[in-house]
Structures are given as structure tokens and as C-alpha cells.
Structure 1
Amino acid sequence: MFTHVYFSAFRISGTEAAMTVEVHWLGTPQTHRADVVGGKVANLSRLAERQPVPPGFCVFGHSSEELATEFAADGITSAYRELAARQEQNEPAVAVRSSAVDEDGEHTSFAGLNETYLNVVGEKAVVDAVRACVASFRSERALAYRSKWGLDAPDQFAVLVQQLVTADVAGVAFSVDPVTHSGSTVVVNSSWGLGESIVGGTVTPDTYRVDRASWDVTERRIADKARMTVPAPAGVRELPVPRQLRSTETLSDAQVVRTARLAVQLEEQMGWPADVEFAWSAERLYLLQCRPVTALHTSEEAGSTAGGRTA
């Protein structure tokens, strides 16, 4: 199994400070610990062997300084090359996402506060995106959110680099209804393209409700989906949905039920109501994120099922 560990040092205001930056793959013991790599990575890592999680690796360290990633460039590059070899691609497109240690917890989500970069291609671009994610941990917005919840400034960082799924349809599923709190219903939101239009709240997605006892689709609300996010050179862009697709269902009943079953499986595996980001590509279902349904504890994210979720 590919692993890189780096030890280096830098000088801050005349004081020598030791740093450790490590790179490890999802599915390995080093990426199972939420107190080291954050909930986002730890959850996916623990699920990687049994669920359809795209391959990826985590860059993490124990310094509050963004400069720490200067010493991890070789490790990031080597891991990206290994990912390319596994995917049999020269320069695979990846998603680069933050995974703060106290992110995606039972009460705090850091929704939209730390940076995410999609469709990142090439060694230099991946290294730059990781550095930008690390810098976002100490952004004004992130620090203000930490202060609100009584959390200290971060003294460690973790960033996930993962194969990008070029989604035909993407969305969010909840193993319980996050608005009514009903444990008998699974809610699935979906829209065309990558999930960022739902995440950013710029599109109202289709909404399906599935009965957990019978697995029947008990309700469907097909939205007028005006916008979609698609890969573009050096990133992604949001485009108008073709008119003939705007009011067309994004998922078949079979896909809705398969997605709902995944959400319930994840609840059973993780031991808490699951908030799941998923993607369908070429008739295959992928798990992109799994975290607790924080809307059960706070009304701030109750708009999730109306397309207002950010993460």
C-alpha cells in the first residue's frame, strides 16, 4: 500500500517549529481516525471497503501554518501519480475538499466554510488546490463559525483528494426526514450534473420520499431544474439545463430506491441518521460524502430538502 510520511521544519518569528505532513489512502487505518483526518475523510475511509466510494488519498498535518503543505508537495504529486496509474489515466480529474477535525460532526458541519475544488487536473493544480484548502481553514468566515460554537482555531489540517465522478445526476439523501424527523421515511434530492448546484442552493432539486418498510416511492416532486453544474477547463461551471430536461425526472424509481437503501445501509453502519451525498454516472451509484443529519439538532440546515444545503 502506497504511503508517504514527511518530517520537516520551518522558522516562525525566530522559533524553530517541527511539522509532520502525511499522505495516506482512503481505506487504510491511518485515515480511519476522525480526530486526525476529520469526519469527512474518516467516514469515507471506514466505508470504502464496503461501499462505492471513489478512490482517493488524504493529506494531513499537525501545524496551524499553511506553509506546512510546502513540505508535502512531493507526497501529493506521488499520490496523484499513483491514482493516475490505478485509473489508467495520465492526469485524472479529482475533487479536492477540506476535512477539518471538527467538521461534519453531530452538531457542527462547517457547511460551505472551507474550500472545495472540483475537476482539478494535473500535478501542480492538485498541489495548489490542497494548499488553498489548508489556507481556508483559517479564513475569516471559518474562524467566526468556530467562535460561534466555542471552538479554538485549528492546529491541524486534513484535505481529501479524490477521483472526480462525472455525474449524470447527483444529489443528497437523508436516511430520516430532516424536516419532520420521521424515521420511517428516506428523502432523496437530485438534479442534473454535479451536485454543486444543489450544494450551493442555486437549483431546486427533484424530491422523492421512500417508505423504509415497503421501499415504495410514496411522494415525488419534480422541480423545474433551471441550472446544472458541469466540468469545464480548470474547474466547473454552471449552465442552463436544456429545456427538455428541466421538468424531466432525474432518477428512475429503481435509482431512487437504490439510493434510499444506500442511505439506510449507511445509517446502520455508522450508527446515526445519515446525510449522504451521492452521484449516478453511467448507471453506477457512487458515495461521495456521509455525515450525521445535523438538521435533527438545529434548524439552520432544515432547508436541505429545498435545495438550500451547502457543504
Structure 2
Amino acid sequence: MDVLWLGQPACHDLSMVGGKVACLSQLAADYRVPLGFCLTTVAFDRWTAGEGATSPPPPFRDALADAYLGLAERCGVPDPRVAVRSSAIDEDGRNASFAGQYETYLNIMGIEAVIEAVARCRESLRSPRVLEYRRKNGLSLDSARLAVLVQQLVPSDVSAVMFTANPVTRDRSEILINASWGLGESIVGGTVTPDTFVVRKRDLAIESRHVAERSG
């Protein structure tokens, strides 16, 4: 299956949709999640098998274009702005998170722009940065497989990333939240110093907070 929509049962299969999409699809079962679809690892495997083609083959382009038009219909917008997000099968692992390693493209609009962003996400699977990260973490390139999520973009004044276990202290009784102005990619990519809050799970009390200095 080349395209799966968030919330479909098959969209929980990590081997087909990668860690990010599998988790989002599970979340979509009980919470409001922006609409989106996933180009599966199967679709990218078929593309790669096409003698190393750098541009997407016609069947891949057609499936992506049809899905984007379907998203436009569901959103009620002719050319919805989307986030194009990599979702690898081995990201968010116990020993390697791959945070900020693969590419994400925001504010993408129109079929051709989406196709280009998806192709660039695919290229990031073997970027020098990712190859070095895999080497340092003892991960074989043979196991590298990628899916890509195309998801309705929600404009935001403030964004946050929440860890349900403190990744700094490894304390599972704490929640760590990083927050900053604008879209969340600046936090994940490390281009801003976010505000940081540590919250105690037991009673949701804030144990500590650090508000980053703002320039200007």
C-alpha cells in the first residue's frame, strides 16, 4: 500500500509508516490531530528499486497528487498549506532518537511543491549528517527505511515539544516541556533556545522553569 491516512488501522504499522506517523496515528484515535496522509516505506522501496531514479516515478507522483487533492477536499481548501515530515522506522528509539536529523518542510503549498519536498525528504535518508549519526550510534544503513507524512499545517503563535519522561535526567516521574514562539520546527532543529519546564507527573506541579532570554 503506497498511501495511508492518519487514523487508518494499517497506519499503526511502524514498518510501513515509521515511528512518527505510527505514534500520530494512534494519537488520532482519541485526540484531534491535523489531517494528513503517509507515503509508506513500500512506496519508497518501489521508487528506490527503479534503478536509482532521483525523481519520483509516474505512479508515485500520481499517488501523491491524488492524495494531496484528497487532503484539499477534506480540509475544504483548494491548495492547503502542509508540513512534509520524514518518518523513519528506526527514529525515536531507545538509544537513538534521530531528533532534527531528517528533513521537515513547512508551509508547502501546491502539488508540485509537495512532490519536490517529498523527494528532498527521501534524499535526507542518506545525507552526510544522517550517515554520521547512524555511524556514531552503531546503526546499519541497511536497516534505514523512510516514510513521509504530508499533514495539514496549523499556524501557531507558540509551539512546544513535550517529553513524557525527562530525557536529561532519565527520570520517568517527570515531564519536560520545551516551548518557543512560532512553529515547532525551530525547537526540534535547535535553532532557538526554548523555555524549559519540568513538571511532576504525580500532581502536574511545575518543579522548575527556565525562561530563555529573547533578543530584540
Range of TM-score over shorter length:
0.7 to 0.9
Is the Cα contact below 8 Å between 1:203 and 1:225 reproduced in 2?
no
* SS of the residue 2:141 aligns to: coil
**Do the aligned residues in 2 keep the contact of 1:191 with 1:225 (CA within 8 Å)?**
no
The structure 2 residue matched to 1:187, chosen from 169, 176, 192, is 176
Correspondences of 1:209-228 after superposition (within 5 Å): 209-226=198-215
TM-score normalised by L of structure 2: 0.86
Q: Which residue of 2 aligns with 1:34?
A: 14
- CA offsets 1:193-249 (integer angstroms, 9 cap, x no match): 1112222223221122222222222332222233xxxxxxxxxxxxxxxx5xxxxxx
Report if the CA contact (8 A) 1:138-1:154 is conserved. Answer: no
Contact 1:205 1:225 in 2 (8 A): no
- Aligned runs of 1:6-85 on 2, under 5 Å? 22-60=2-40, 61=43, 62-63=45-46, 64=48, 65=52, 67=54, 69-70=56-57, 71-85=59-73
**1:31 shift after superposition:** 1.6
| Contact 1:169 1:190 survives alignment (8 Å) | yes
Q: Map 1:1-311 onto structure 2 (within 5 A).
A: 5=1, 22-60=2-40, 61=43, 62-63=45-46, 64=48, 65=52, 67=54, 69-70=56-57, 71-148=59-136, 149-153=138-142, 156-226=145-215, 243=216
Aligned partner of 1:192: which letter? Answer: W
Q: Percent identity?
A: 48
Deviation (angstroms), 1:50: 0.9
Shift in Å, 1:166: 0.8
CA contact (8 A) 1:95 1:117 kept: yes
Decide whether the 8 Å contact of 1:66 with 1:131 is kept in 2: no
What is the root-mean-square deviation in Å for CA atoms of aligned residues? 2.0
SS of corresponding position for 2:117: helix
In the alignment, the residues of structure 2 paired with residue 207 and residue 150 of structure 1 have an alpha-carbon distance, to the nearest angstrom, of 30
CA distance in 2, matches of 1:182, 1:155: 30
- Measured after TM superposition, the shift of residue 68 of structure 1 is 7.4
> In the alignment, is the contact (CA less than 8 A) between 2:6 and 2:36 conserved in 1?
yes
- Tell me how many residue pairs correspond in the alignment: 207
Structure 1 residue 180 displacement after superposition:
2.2
CA distance in 2 between counterparts of 1:34 and 1:141 reads: 23
Structure whose residues are more often strand by fraction: 1
**1:171 deviation in Å?**
1.7
Q: Is the 8 A contact 2:6 2:37 kept in 1?
A: yes
Q: Secondary structure at the match of 1:43?
A: helix
Q: Which has the larger radius of gyration?
A: 1
CA distance in structure 2 between the aligned counterparts of 1:135 and 1:182, rounded to whole angstroms: 36
